[in-house]
Amino acid sequence: MYGHITLRPAPADAGIVFRRLDLDHFEIEAQGKNVARVSYATSLMKQGVLLSTTEHLLAAIYSCGIDNIYIDIDAIEVPILDGSAEPFMQMLEQSGVRKLRRKRRYLRVLKPVEVSEGDRRIGIYPADEFRVRCYVDFPHPLVGQQEVEMLVSPETFRHLLARARTFCFERDIQPLRSMGLIRGGSLENAIVLTADGVMNGPLRFPDEFGRHKALDLIGDLALAGLPLLARVEAHKAGHSLHTQLVSRLLADRSAWTVTTEETAARESETGATSLMPAIASD
């Protein structure tokens, strides 16, 4: 069973909205209030209607600076495709982006908000542009410690993150399949790690795992509902911590404000201050 998605223009202030075509166009807004916590991917739920694996598509939309869009889908799960965000970037680039007359609204973070679980932690901090730093430390010969630090713009996302694919373990595939969680799952839509290597290489980047985690992070931050003026630091985090951070941020009304002031953000949209990622591995 394959799902189909169609991306359609939406009016100002619509936000990023999924529409389940198979359920009478039921709308699920890509917002923190609709997060249903699931560990292996991020799912949204509204009035009992579920939509899973939103993060790769949302990462592409959010990084491209698209504030208003309808995502029409006829299935419960966003197609995983090759496990990266590249196919979604291609869709967005083929259709193009239209500027609306309305001033762009940003969510400006005013004070730090942090969430931690053991040695895993994530925090969001005030900044004049949207930056992420993502550190992973994963006990596998091909992964180890990896770090990505970058300004998020359409250009940096396309060049540094979009092609990085999701990973899974050979030993985990069968149980997930039997639970019906990876319907289209195969060697074509994830890097499959064995105990000491990869079943379906080569990797697209030596640090593809770290890059993909940064992609996931951006896709989950999209659930803030507006473009961010903030710096986010994730240390061995994952979907659960990402979405907890978004929920905690949105719940603390003293931690952010909505602004149309875009002096700093305009600079970042041109990519003028983009940096190459700092990569550390051992």
Residue 86 interacting with Zn ion (CB under 5 A): no
Q: Distance (Å, rounded) from C-alpha 142 to C-alpha 255?
A: 39
Residue 229's contacts (CB-CB under 8 Å, 6 or more residues apart) are 106, 107, 108, 109, 126, 127, 128, 129, 130, 259, 264, 265
For residue 198, give the DSSP letter.
B
- In the complex with Zn ion, the residue whose CB is nearer, 31 or 52, is 52
Q: How far apart are CB 216 and Zn ion at their closest, in Å?
A: 4
Q: Which of 67, 216, 220, 233 binds Zn ion (CB under 5 A)?
A: 216
Sheet of 16-20: strand order equals: 5-9, 69-73, 16-20, 26-29
Residue 53 interacting with Zn ion (CB under 5 A): no
Active site residue 242: no
Cβ–Cβ < 8 Å for 132, 234: yes
Residue 129 interacting with Zn ion (CB under 5 A): no
Q: Which residues pair with 256 in a beta bridge?
A: 109
Given 25, 140, 159, 239, the catalytic residue? 239
Q: How far apart are CB 168 and Zn ion at their closest, in Å?
A: 10
Cβ–Cβ < 8 Å for 42, 242: yes
Q: How far apart are CB 213 and Zn ion at their closest, in Å?
A: 8
Q: How far apart are CB 55 and Zn ion at their closest, in Å?
A: 5
Q: How many CB atoms lie within 10 A of CB 34?
A: 19
Q: Distance (Å, rounded) from C-alpha 214 to C-alpha 165?
A: 11
Residue 42 interacting with Zn ion (CB under 5 A): no
Stretch that binds Zn ion, among 29-37, 162-170, 203-211, 220-228 (CB under 5 A): 162-170
Q: Which of 166, 240, 243, 268 binds Zn ion (CB under 5 A)?
A: 166
Q: How many CB atoms lie within 10 A of CB 179?
A: 9
For residue 21, give the DSSP letter.
G
Stretch that binds Zn ion, among 8-16, 43-51, 209-217, 270-278 (CB under 5 A): 209-217
- In the complex with Zn ion, the residue whose CB is nearer, 104 or 213, is 213
Residue 208 interacting with Zn ion (CB under 5 A): no
Q: How far apart are CB 222 and Zn ion at their closest, in Å?
A: 13
Catalytic site residues? 239
Residues that bind Zn ion (CB under 5 A): 166, 216
